Chains A and B, each alone.
Chain A
Amino acid sequence: MSVIYSLIDLLLPFEWTEFSYMKNALLAVLLITPLFGLVGVMIVNNKMSFFSDALGHSALTGIAIGVLMGVDNYLVSMMGFSLLFALCISAVMDSETSSSDTIIGVFSSTGLALGIVLLSASGGFAKYSGYLIGDILTVQPEEIRMLALILAAVVLLWGFFFNKLMLVSLNTDLAASKGIRVRLVEKFFVILVAVIVTVSIKWVGVLIINSLLVLPAASARNLAKSMRSYHFTAIGISLFSGVSGLIISYYAGTAAGGTIVLVAAVIFFITYFLNQARAKS
């Protein structure tokens, strides 16, 4: 890590990079934002933004279960509950007994309420309420290494499975006609989103994680002319929002996560109006 820190000092000789926690936060942003940009494109394409929001809410319940069970590493309990939660939502949606937004709404509110009740019963709500807004400035070097591995794994998976994901997202019958196992691909994506949301929640926060997943991709969709431009624009917007939001938050003394989301929101509205103008011309 010392080599990377020296590189940051060399390339970015600014006040805000003098602190090691800011260097770590910058590295985390450089890893998390492309990850979110990449996965966000399919979340937006599949109209799954409520789903990823619900997964974020479920993280609180995962922590509460970890606290009650005396688990040292809450990531384990969060991951376990999040995967179970995601697969349950997916299974109920497959049964097509209610509309998907209703099912997700029910699971989302139930997950959040259960987390609050369990944490308050164990007397630990105040201690863990920090997970609601997250704090990217607390990220540690070993966690940055883990994020780098996750990003590499997701890029690799995206390389192998993206074409199938895209065809399933477009039309399930069409995908099935090509021998694609639609349910398996859908479950794969659901699990991938659950894993990414869970590992990032500590730094990004329950309340804003979904914004970071959805806003860059939604902005890119306003501009994209193909899947390639959709991806690279989403990753670019995500990176720009992350880095500029981090720098602004340092100088403005604001929460990093919220500032990053605000930058992403401004970009979304700019692209929205650009798209409107393009449609009229």
Chain B
Amino acid sequence: MILHNVSLDVHHGEILALIGRNGAGKTTLLKALLGRIPYTGSVVFSNAQGEKIEKPRIGYVPQNLVFDRSTPVTVGDLLCANMGGFPVWLGHKKEQISRAERLLAQVGGGPSLLKKRIGSLSGGELQRVLLVFALEPKPDLLLLDEPVSAVDRRGIGAFYDLVTSMRAEHQMPIILVSHDLNHVEKYATRAALLDGTIVVSGTVNEVMKTPEVREAFGLKLTGGVRK
């Protein structure tokens, strides 16, 4: 998918929902932000004080992590590899383990999770581990690409509650790609409809009422209530 004239601002402490039909370029845009796809133009990052950040830290929770499920990488290996220079093939330092346990506790995970192979985790467990991975160290921008697509209904609420509390606590800008407009309405602060370019953007309420969104998602408006 090739994107044109994409101009977006994401502010500190807000969750910007990127919505659009399949193939509209949502994941492509995230991959460009990750530096995985070449692009022209510029992406400018600044901190909460407005100072420019040359090398921003980006947290990324993918839609469905594609990896070899038989890999012997444990949750502890994954989180400790992200914490510093000590090579995980030699084991983990005590302080790394303690930190990983504290981080996992924030997402409702117990210490026993550290010894589990990531290939053996449930969808919900894996997404929570990936969120911990994305949040360490604290990112300048958090990208969530359909983060709950493999999570059961109970886990979805817990996941978004966690994201919302992280946003409130750290005031980090978050871009959320989601198909589910209910999630967008409930958790996002702003929204943008993408279809090769930014079609409309604004507050969630404003965007949801636009004919472009209604057309893209096949919605009807009756008395202001989306059906």
**Contact stretch, chosen from A130-138, A170-178, A247-255:** A170-178
Q: Roughly how many angstroms separate A177 CA and B135 CA in the complex, as a whole number?
A: 11
**Minimum CB distance partner of B71 in chain A:** A45
Residues of A with C-beta under 8 A to B209: none
**Contact stretch, chosen from A71-79, A144-152, A154-162:** A154-162
Q: Quote the shortest CB–CB distance from B158 to chain A (angstroms).
A: 22
- With A176-B36, A177-B143 in contact, is A227–B60 under 8 Å at CB? no
Binary CB contact string for chain B from 53 to 67 against chain A (1 if under 8 A, 0 otherwise): 001011110100111
Q: Roughly how many angstroms separate A159 CA and B88 CA in the complex, as a whole number?
A: 9
Residues of B with C-beta under 8 A to A167: 78, 81-82
Q: Which interface class (under 10, 10 to 19, 20 to 34, 35 or more) fits A?
A: 20 to 34
Contact pick for A166, options B60, B77, B117, B143, CB 8 Å: B77
The reply on B171 being an interface residue by CB < 8 A is no
Q: Roughly how many angstroms separate A41 CA and B89 CA in the complex, as a whole number?
A: 10
**Minimum CB distance partner of A47 in chain B:** B68
**Contact in complex: A45, B68 (CB < 8 Å):** yes
**Contact in complex: B34, A176 (CB < 8 Å):** yes
Q: Roughly how many angstroms separate A226 CA and B88 CA in the complex, as a whole number?
A: 9
Binary CB contact string for chain B from 69 to 96 against chain A (1 if under 8 A, 0 otherwise): 0111110111001100101111100000
**Contact in complex: A174, B115 (CB < 8 Å):** no
The reply on B134 being an interface residue by CB < 8 A is yes
**Contact in complex: B72, A221 (CB < 8 Å):** yes
Contact pick for B90, options A41, A170, A171, A228, CB 8 Å: A228
Q: Roughly how many angstroms separate A159 CA and B115 CA in the complex, as a whole number?
A: 22
Residues of B with C-beta under 8 A to A158: 87, 89
Q: Quote the shortest CB–CB distance from A195 to chain B (angstroms).
A: 20
The reply on A57 being an interface residue by CB < 8 A is no
**Contact in complex: B73, A170 (CB < 8 Å):** yes
**Minimum CB distance partner of B76 in chain A:** A226
**Minimum CB distance partner of A172 in chain B:** B36
**Contact in complex: B66, A171 (CB < 8 Å):** yes
The reply on A36 being an interface residue by CB < 8 A is no
Contact pick for A224, options B55, B72, B118, CB 8 Å: B72
Q: Roughly how many angstroms separate A221 CA and B90 CA in the complex, as a whole number?
A: 16
- With A47-B68, A167-B81, A226-B77 in contact, is A162–B62 under 8 Å at CB? no
Contact pick for B89, options A47, A174, A228, CB 8 Å: A228
**Contact in complex: B88, A171 (CB < 8 Å):** no
**Contact in complex: A225, B74 (CB < 8 Å):** yes
**Minimum CB distance partner of B62 in chain A:** A173
- With A174-B65, A221-B72, A226-B77 in contact, is A166–B88 under 8 Å at CB? yes
Can you list 19 residue pairs at the A/B interface with Cβ under 8 Å?
A162-B87, A163-B87, A163-B88, A166-B81, A166-B88, A166-B89, A170-B67, A171-B67, A173-B34, A173-B36, A174-B65, A174-B130, A177-B60, A178-B82, A179-B57, A221-B70, A225-B117, A228-B77, A228-B91
A residues near B, CB below 8 A?
41, 45, 47, 158-160, 162-163, 166-167, 169-174, 176-179, 182, 221, 224-231
The 10 nearest A-B residue pairs measured at CB: A177-B60, A224-B72, A163-B81, A162-B87, A231-B89, A230-B72, A227-B77, A226-B74, A228-B91, A176-B34
Given A47-B68, A173-B62, A176-B36: 6 more A-B contacts, CB < 8 Å: A166-B88, A173-B31, A174-B133, A177-B143, A225-B117, A227-B88
